[in-house]
Amino acid sequence: MEKTSQIILSEKSVKELRRLENLYPEKKSIVLMVLHVVYDQFGYLKPAAIDEAAGVVGIPPIDFHQAASFYTFFPREKVGKYHIQVCRTLSCYLRGAEELVDYLIEKLNIKMGEVTEDGIFSLTEVECLGSCGTSPMMQINDTYYENLNRAKVDSILDELRKKAKSG
């Protein structure tokens, strides 16, 4: 039997899209919120998922792709299970962000922008995350890790690696 086009959005995502659909005075306002739904499910903006979400809410896919190429929060390609974003802006730089980056590169044995071979970690640098009083810091997926030092980074990475391997 011929396979029909596969549905990749989860029930939870579709439910959230339905909630958003009529929430705003003008429908197009939900573009970024829809991208968040796709990002929350896949960890990046999977193009097929964007198109499917566009169909669910009835907004042309181009509106989403235009936004996706402007807003840098959403990775546009698959990243590690744990996506590490190090803030490099001034206050963090003053408290050792460059050394933090060097340390992560050494520990993970990848270059900036790469994913570890086991797919567990990916590493990028980003601009100010609004955590300047607790620098240096990094964001891993949705969580901020602040006031970092080597020992803290070691234990964070160990814990996440364990978590990734146990499922």
Q: Determine how many CB atoms are found less than 10 A away from the CB of residue 1.
A: 3
Tokens of 106: 């050494």
- Residues binding other proteins: number (CB under 8 A): 51
Interacting stretch for other proteins, rule CB under 8 A, among 48-56, 58-66, 112-120, 156-164?
A: 58-66
When asked if residue 88 is in the footprint of other proteins (CB under 8 A), the reply is yes
In the numeric block, the tokens 């300047």 are attached to 132
Residue 72 in contact with other proteins, rule: CB under 8 A: yes
In the complex with other proteins, the residue whose CB is nearer, 7 or 24, is 24
- What kind and span of H or E run contains 87? strand 82-87
Q: Which of 9, 17, 31, 84 binds other proteins (CB under 8 A)?
A: 31
Q: Is 13 in the site for other proteins (CB under 8 A)?
A: no
Helix (H), strand (E) counts: the chain = 7, 4
Q: Do 39 and 77 meet the contact criterion of CB atoms below 8 Å apart? A: no
Give residue 90's Cα distance to chain centre. 23
**Which residues are at the interface with other proteins (CB under 8 A)?**
23-26, 28-33, 35-36, 59, 63, 66-67, 70-74, 88-91, 93-97, 99-100, 103, 126-136, 139, 142-144, 148-150
